Amino acid sequence: MNSHTLIPTVQLHGDFKQRARGALGDAQLRQNFRSAMDSLMAKRASAFSDADERERLRALGNQIRARALSKLPELLERLEQNLTRNGVHVHWAETVDEANAIVLEIARAHEARQVIKGKSMVSEEMEMNHFLAERGIECLESDMGEYIVQLDNEKPSHIIMPAIHKNAGQVASLFHDKLGVEYTKDVDQLIQIGRRTLRRKFFEADIGVSGVNFAVAETGTLLLVENEGNGRMSTTVPAVHIAVTGIEKVVENLRDTVPLLSLLTRSALGQPITTYVNMISGPRKADELDGPQEVHLVLLDNGRSQAFADSELRQTLNCIRCGACMNHCPVYTRIGGHAYGEVYPGPIGKIITPHLVGLDKVPDHPSASSLCGACGEVCPVKIPIPSILRRLREENVKAPNDPHQVMRGQGSKYSPRERLAWKAWRTLYTTPALYRLFSFFATRLGGLTPSKLGPWTEHHVAPIPAKRSLHELARQHLEGK
């Protein structure tokens, strides 16, 4: 595959607002997302039919993740010790470049030509496919949804359902064009086409790459959930397995995975469990007949330690990547995943991406929210996404001379004029005499309100102050009694 074919065909240029506007005008896209999100919301709701059970489990999930983060360095070291004892090679990477270099070095050591990938959002952060393809190593996605978007030179639009923006007709045309198969909109047949094509790839691949859902420090175990079996294939058939994951994915004890697993599969898909829960604790042993001869784990930071440094923002790292926040987000449902222009879309994307790429690269993300609160309400590990969004809005407008450096790219929306306007507003509203004077003139001179008031009047008429302020009316009313 040439590198130029890897450029997404969806419109990823322009800024967030332009992409969102484009998405809003795409009736097919909106229909695809609307129906998918409605169905995912209904499935989740029926999987948590007992609200009391759900809330108690969420509290436990939150406690487990918060506990793991409260001793993260210790748990990472314990994880490494136990994995190493089990025969797994553990690598650490501060940046995506370092992570890619580690993967490349392993691939070169095995003279690998073909890599087959189970689903991994961290590998999307790394743009591993692109990176390896440029170095002559084919890197093929094997999750059906990921395979579809890769075939169409796109990126995933949802972290659980990567091809959710496409309908069966679009997949049918894609398979017909790219694989030369007969056009069919029958989903079973489409899946069988994918199965046949990818079976050969599992067979041939030199290396399997996967993500990790939970890394268990206590036992040195990598737990992966999936429905398709491609995760098991990728981690069992090739001679080498490389798992890539963020440093926050570690949990302390094996038993911690029980509630998290239940929260994850029910929140994501409304399933009591996924078809496969695959727990990997080492490479093939001397007396075993299959499984990879080598297992590697790459632990990636990529901005996570920045989020970790602030106790409020640290909660971002509770995330178990279920996608419920995007399924319930009125903004995501209307604009889809690609409009965000980054690996992680939707509410969780808006709070994690600034740490990965710098807040100045995604300055519109914190405000692309109505703060309706749905994301925080459904989050299985109780990340207060709305309040973190508000916090990021503050970081976005922090003055350049503010001594409190919280994150890369903070303050990119700082405007001295806006700051001055708010200072004036504060003075006005905290000084009664000034306020009375202001409201007297505002009501008398209301007719002078300009008809253009920035972005507000793009979609609204300009507000015209009433003839008398509420204060005045109330006073009149009381005097009349």
Partner 1 sequence: MSAKANILAKLKNSLAGTTPIRDEFDESLVTQPWSYPADQRIARLRQLMEAVHGETHLTSLAEWPALLERLLGERGIDRLLVAPSTPHGQQFSAHCQQAGSPLTLKAYDRPIEEWKAELFDATPASLTGTLGGIAATGSLILWPTREEPRLMSLVPPLHIALLKASQVYDNFYEVQQKMQWSAGMPTNALLVSGPSKTADIEQVLAYGAHGPKDLIVLILEDA
Which residues ranging from 51 to 70 are in contact with partner 1 (CB under 8 A)? 53, 56-57, 60, 63-64, 66-67, 70
CB distance 306 to 248 below 8 Å: no
Q: In 3-state terms, what secondary structure has residue 273?
A: coil
- The CA-based angle 89-92-96, given to 5 degrees, is 120
What Cα–Cα distance (Å) separates residue 336 from each residue in 30, 243, 322, 330, 379?
A: 7, 28, 16, 10, 19
CB distance 244 to 250 below 8 Å: no
Which of positions 198-227 make contact with partner 1 (CB under 8 A)?
A: 198-199, 202-203, 218-221, 227
- 28 lies in the site for partner 1, by CB under 8 A: no
Give the whole-angstrom CA distance, residue 183 versus residue 171: 10
**Given 27, 51, 289, 478, the residue binding partner 1 (CB under 8 A):** 289
Nearest approach in angstroms of CB 250 to partner 1 is 11
Nearest approach in angstroms of CB 160 to partner 1 is 9
- 258 lies in the site for partner 1, by CB under 8 A: yes
Q: What is the DSSP string of 200-251?
A: HHHHH-SEEEE--SEEETTTTEEEEEESSSHHHHHHHSSSEEEEEEEGGGEE
- 290 lies in the site for partner 1, by CB under 8 A: yes
**Given 1, 47, 104, 277, the residue binding partner 1 (CB under 8 A):** 277
**Given 106, 139, 269, 325, the residue binding partner 1 (CB under 8 A):** 269
Give the whole-angstrom CA distance, residue 49 versus residue 63: 22
- 26 lies in the site for partner 1, by CB under 8 A: no
CB distance 428 to 438 below 8 Å: yes
**Given 127, 276, 409, 472, the residue binding partner 1 (CB under 8 A):** 276
**Nearer Cβ to partner 1 (2/311):** 311
**Nearer Cβ to partner 1 (320/368):** 320
C-alpha torsion 149→151→152→156, nearest 10: 10
**Nearer Cβ to partner 1 (231/346):** 231
- 188 lies in the site for partner 1, by CB under 8 A: yes
- 324 lies in the site for partner 1, by CB under 8 A: no
Could you tell me which stretch among 29-37, 127-135, 328-336, 454-462 binds partner 1 (CB under 8 A)? Answer: 29-37
- 305 lies in the site for partner 1, by CB under 8 A: yes
Q: In which region does residue 371 sit, left (phi positive, over 0), alpha (psi from -120 to 50) or beta (all else)? A: left
- 313 lies in the site for partner 1, by CB under 8 A: no
Give the whole-angstrom CA distance, residue 119 versus residue 142: 7
Could you tell me which stretch among 17-25, 304-312, 379-387, 464-472 binds partner 1 (CB under 8 A)? Answer: 304-312
Residues touching partner 1: how many (CB under 8 A)?
Answer: 97
How many of the other CB atoms lie within 10 Å of CB of 327? 29
Rounded to 5 degrees, φ, ψ at 277 are: -115, 115
Could you tell me which stretch among 22-30, 275-283, 367-375, 430-438 binds partner 1 (CB under 8 A)? Answer: 275-283
**Given 83, 103, 133, 190, the residue binding partner 1 (CB under 8 A):** 190
Nearest approach in angstroms of CB 310 to partner 1 is 8
- How does 232-268 read in b/e, with b if 16+ C-beta sit within 10 Å? bbbbbbbbbbbbbbbbbbbbbeeebbebbbbbbbbbb
**Given 252, 294, 342, 395, the residue binding partner 1 (CB under 8 A):** 252
Nearest approach in angstroms of CB 425 to partner 1 is 35
- 301 lies in the site for partner 1, by CB under 8 A: yes
429's enclosing H/E stretch is helix 416-430
**Nearer Cβ to partner 1 (98/360):** 98
Say which amino acid occupies 104: L
- 229 lies in the site for partner 1, by CB under 8 A: yes
- The CA-based angle 356-323-358, given to 5 degrees, is 15
**Which residues, other chains included, contact 20 with Cβ-Cβ below 8 Å and sequence gap of 6+?**
335, 339, 368
**Nearer Cβ to partner 1 (92/440):** 92
**Nearer Cβ to partner 1 (103/368):** 103
- 356 lies in the site for partner 1, by CB under 8 A: no
Which of positions 96-125 make contact with partner 1 (CB under 8 A)?
A: 98
Nearest approach in angstroms of CB 229 to partner 1 is 3
Which of positions 123-182 make contact with partner 1 (CB under 8 A)?
A: 142-145, 148, 161-164, 166-168, 171
439, β-bridge pairs: none
Nearest approach in angstroms of CB 25 to partner 1 is 22
222, β-bridge pairs: 215, 280
Nearest approach in angstroms of CB 81 to partner 1 is 12
Which of positions 358-417 make contact with partner 1 (CB under 8 A)?
A: none
- 287 lies in the site for partner 1, by CB under 8 A: yes
- 456 lies in the site for partner 1, by CB under 8 A: no
Which one, of 47, 14, 123, 56, lies nearest residue 327 by Cα?
Answer: 47
Give the whole-angstrom CA distance, residue 119 versus residue 116: 10
**Given 45, 179, 309, 421, the residue binding partner 1 (CB under 8 A):** 309
Give the whole-angstrom CA distance, residue 415 versus residue 186: 54
Nearest approach in angstroms of CB 366 to partner 1 is 22
